[in-house]
Amino acid sequence: MKSVLIIGLGRFGRHIAEKLNGLRHQVMGVDKSENRVNEALPFLTDAQIGDGTSMPFLKTLGVDNFDICFVAIGDDFQSSLVVTSYLKELGARKVVSRASMEVQRQFLLRNGADDVVYPEKQLAAWLAIRHTTDHVLDYIALDENYSIYDLSVPQEWVGKTVGHLDIRKRYNLNILAVREHGKATTVVNSETQLHQDQTLLVLGTWKDIQKCFHI
């Protein structure tokens, strides 16, 4: 269990709080809007109404006691930049800040952010891939090149074994797990036979996924 501070409880910050709460982490939420704080309360261990751009206010939170600090401000980049800088100045262990474009990412990193996320960009990429392909059900980007894809088993693969398909050698793809009825098994070998109602977790590049699955 980790202790997490979220500054900014708009939709993005509230979704983070909800997920962290479900994972049983301790979450403190901060926003200058009382309504936003109240809406997020069911997912918070503690909450404060206040201005995160105020250094005196941030000092009262004890930010150096949190394992992670999320700066989830989405509509005011200047405020996001100030909060990120103040958090690191106050000794925050890890600061993850939100950005909407590359130039913002660069400024946030220079001002102390340990990591920067692009929720809109990442969601747009997910939607584009998910809804324009027949086999991709979901994916997680690991870096600029490699991702883990959740793929349905193509009809022509049904009844065949992983060894027979040999996609590692032919397409540079690795089957990490096979899922069936909500349960996953990572014990995948050349004798593993594929079925219609299974999905595959496959590691590789988008280019190789396109070649293998004819996307």
pLDDT for the residue numbered 99: 86
Domain ranges of the chain: 3-117, 122-213
Task: Report CA-CA distances (Å) from 54 to 14, 15, 82, 210.
Answer: 21, 24, 9, 49
pLDDT at 177: 87
Average pLDDT for 98-120: 85
- Band (pLDDT 50/70/90 cuts) for residue 198 is confident
User: Domain 122-213 is classified in which CATH homologous superfamily?
Assistant: Regulator of K+ conductance, C-terminal domain (3.30.70.1450)
pLDDT-wise least confident of 1-5, 53-57, 120-124: 120-124
pLDDT digits 0-9 by tens, 80-94: 999 999 999 999 999
Global confidence as pTM: 0.66
192 pLDDT higher than 60 = yes
What is the sign, positive or negative, of the torsion defined by CA atoms of 134, 144, 117, 92? positive
Residue 133's pLDDT is what? 67
Kindly report which listed range (31-45, 54-68, 73-87, 186-200) carries the lowest average pLDDT score.
186-200
User: How is domain 3-117 classified at the architecture level of CATH?
Assistant: 3-Layer(aba) Sandwich (3.40)
Extract the runs of DSSP E, i.e. beta strands, from the chain: 3-7, 26-31, 46-49, 68-71, 95-98, 115-117, 136-141, 146-152, 174-180, 183-185, 198-205
**Residue scoring higher pLDDT (162 or 58):** 58
- Could you give the CA distance from residue 196 to residue 96 in angstroms, rounded to a whole number? 40
Q: Which of 138, 116, 19 is nearest to 71 (CA)?
A: 116
Mean pLDDT value of segment 190-205: 86
pLDDT reading at 185 higher than 90: no
